[in-house]
Amino acid sequence: MPTEQMTIYVPPRVKKEIKQLAAAKDMSMNTIVVEALELAIAAWEAENNRSWGT
């Protein structure tokens, strides 16, 4: 899958939680963020499709 670099800014509390989750899952922080974004986008698309009746 092609990837592009992106910088995001998050509050310190969010960064701390991402870091803890990454450590618990033995994954990188980037992987955790990408997985979370993929899930959020899928949920948004599903909701958007329901709203439009498709």
Looking up tokens 């899952």 gives: 25
Confidence of residue 53 (pLDDT cuts 50, 70, 90): low
Residues 6+ apart with CB under 8 A from 22: 28, 29, 31, 32
Taking the C-alpha atoms of residue 30 and residue 32, their distance in angstroms, rounded to an integer, is 5
Taking the C-alpha atoms of residue 3 and residue 38, their distance in angstroms, rounded to an integer, is 13
Q: Against a cut of 0.85, is the pTM above it?
A: no
Is residue 44 over pLDDT 90? Answer: yes
Confidence of residue 32 (pLDDT cuts 50, 70, 90): very high
Find the mean pLDDT for residues 3-30.
95
Confidence of residue 1 (pLDDT cuts 50, 70, 90): low
Residue 10's φ and ψ, nearest 5 degrees, are -130, 155
